[in-house]
């Protein structure tokens, strides 16, 4: 079981050029999340939702991991088997930085999902409403994203990891979306040292014994250097 569990959010990818959700220029100030990030929105206007995720996938393909992603990959390489990243991000920047033990609890832009048979496959750069499932041939395909109102992936494994960890760090997340937002408090109840690394204080601050504020590309490498002594 991993000694260090790290929850990441949009803030860790902000300096890679991928927008956050709730900051002043965040995605949810430009788009109505009910229209683009709910099963009901997809049922109403599947083209709008498909276009939204195609645009985000294009941004992601054009982005590179930053110093924060690389620092977490170094941490895992230095402490094999001891580090788990639980990310709310649907980008693939942790993987591209070299992290291996990563759970994408809100799904993945680079994955497509069949609503008919639950088969997953690598998403093409541009998804189309006419795409059919490679396993069952059904045309009910969608981005493999956990929308509001759906249950995040791998919650059992995440709960077990949070219960057993000694250090829980939340990086670049506003702590406003549950169940992810409740993980820090749960880790603290189970005796973990809680660390918050963020641009500014967030909902996670009050349960964190250690807090470091600044851009992720600076505070995360510093924190990793401290941990590795
Ligand atoms: N370095 C560190 N933190 C940053 C940076 C940066 N360069 N830029 C912004 N932040 C912080 C903000 O201060 C904020 O606390 O990142 C956080 C981003 O918060 P949100 O936009 O709410 O993103 P997140 O917490 O990941 O959202 C959770 O909400 O809409 C859903 O499914 C979506 O996974 C997402 C979930």
Nearest CA to ligand 1 atom 25: 173
Beta strand extents in the chain (DSSP E only): 4-8, 83-87, 102-104, 107-114, 120-122, 141-145, 167-171, 193-198, 210-213
> Based on the domain organization, do 224 and 118 belong to the same domain?
no
The tokens of 97 are what?
């930085």
> Based on the domain organization, do 118 and 58 belong to the same domain?
yes
CA distances (Å), 136 to each of 47, 115, 120, 123, 144, in order? Answer: 22, 11, 11, 16, 16
Last residue of a domain, one of 145, 169, 196: 145
> Based on the domain organization, do 175 and 92 belong to the same domain?
yes
Last residue of a domain, one of 85, 119, 145: 145
Q: Which residues of 72-103 are buried (b: 16+ CB within 10 A; e: fewer)?
A: bbbbbeeeeebbbbbbbbbbbbbbbbebebbb
pLDDT of residue 2: 82
> Based on the domain organization, do 136 and 201 belong to the same domain?
no
The total of structural domains in the chain comes to 2
Q: Is the CB of 200 under 6 A from ligand 1?
A: yes
Name the residue of 22, 169, 197 whose CB sits within 8 Å of the most ligand 1 atoms, as the mutation to test its pocket. 22
What is the 166 CA–ligand 1 centroid distance (Å)?
24
Nearest CA to ligand 1 atom 4: 11
> Based on the domain organization, do 130 and 156 belong to the same domain?
no
Provide the whole-model pTM.
0.97
191 phi and psi angles, rounded to 5 deg: 95, 5
> Based on the domain organization, do 181 and 158 belong to the same domain?
yes
> Based on the domain organization, do 97 and 112 belong to the same domain?
no
Point out the residues that are catalytic: 106
pLDDT of residue 1: 74
Q: Is the CB of 11 under 6 A from ligand 1?
A: yes
> Based on the domain organization, do 81 and 55 belong to the same domain?
no
Task: Write out the residue range of the structural domain in which residue 31 sits.
Answer: 19-62+108-145
What is the number of the ligand 1 atom nearest to the C-alpha of 202?
15
What is the 83 CA–ligand 1 centroid distance (Å)?
21
Question: Tens place of pLDDT for every residue, the chain, 229 residues?
Answer: 789 999 999 999 999 999 999 999 999 999 999 999 999 999 999 999 999 999 999 999 999 999 999 999 999 999 999 999 999 999 999 999 999 999 999 999 999 999 999 999 999 999 999 999 999 999 989 999 999 999 999 999 999 999 999 999 999 999 999 999 999 999 999 999 999 999 999 999 999 999 999 999 999 999 999 999 9
> Based on the domain organization, do 189 and 114 belong to the same domain?
no
> Based on the domain organization, do 164 and 229 belong to the same domain?
yes
Q: Is the CB of 141 under 6 A from ligand 1?
A: no
> Based on the domain organization, do 119 and 220 belong to the same domain?
no
> Based on the domain organization, do 165 and 223 belong to the same domain?
yes
Nearest CA to ligand 1 atom 5: 11
Q: For residue 204, give the CATH number of its domain.
A: 3.40.50.1220
Q: For residue 118, give the CATH number of its domain.
A: 3.30.1600.10
């Amino acid at each position: 079981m991993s000694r260090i569990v790290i929850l990441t959010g949009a803030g860790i990818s902000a300096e890679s050029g991928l927008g956050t959700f709730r900051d002043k220029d965040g995605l949810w100030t430009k788009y109505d999340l009910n229209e683009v990030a709910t099963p009901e929105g997809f049922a109403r206007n599947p083209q709008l939702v498909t276009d939204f995720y195609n645009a985000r996938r294009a941004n992601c393909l054009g982005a590179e991991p930053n110093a924060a992603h690389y620092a977490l990959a170094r941490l895992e390489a230095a402490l094999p088997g001891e580090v788990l990243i639980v990310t709310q991000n649907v980008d693939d920047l942790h993987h591209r930085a070299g992290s291996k033990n990563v759970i994408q609890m809100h799904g993945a832009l680079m994955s497509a999902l069949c609503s008919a048979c639950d088969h997953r496959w690598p998403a093409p750069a541009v998804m189309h409403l006419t795409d059919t499932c490679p396993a069952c041939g059904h045309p009910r395909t969608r981005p493999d994203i956990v929308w509001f109102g759906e249950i995040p992936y791998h919650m059992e494994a995440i709960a077990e990891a949070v219960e057993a960890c000694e250090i829980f760090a939340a990086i670049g997340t506003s702590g406003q979306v549950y169940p992810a937002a409740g993980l820090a408090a749960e880790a603290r109840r189970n005796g973990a040292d809680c660390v918050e690394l963020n641009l500014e204080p967030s909902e996670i601050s009050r349960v964190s014994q250690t807090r470091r504020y600044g851009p992720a590309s600076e505070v995360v490498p510093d924190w990793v250097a401290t941990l590795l002594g």
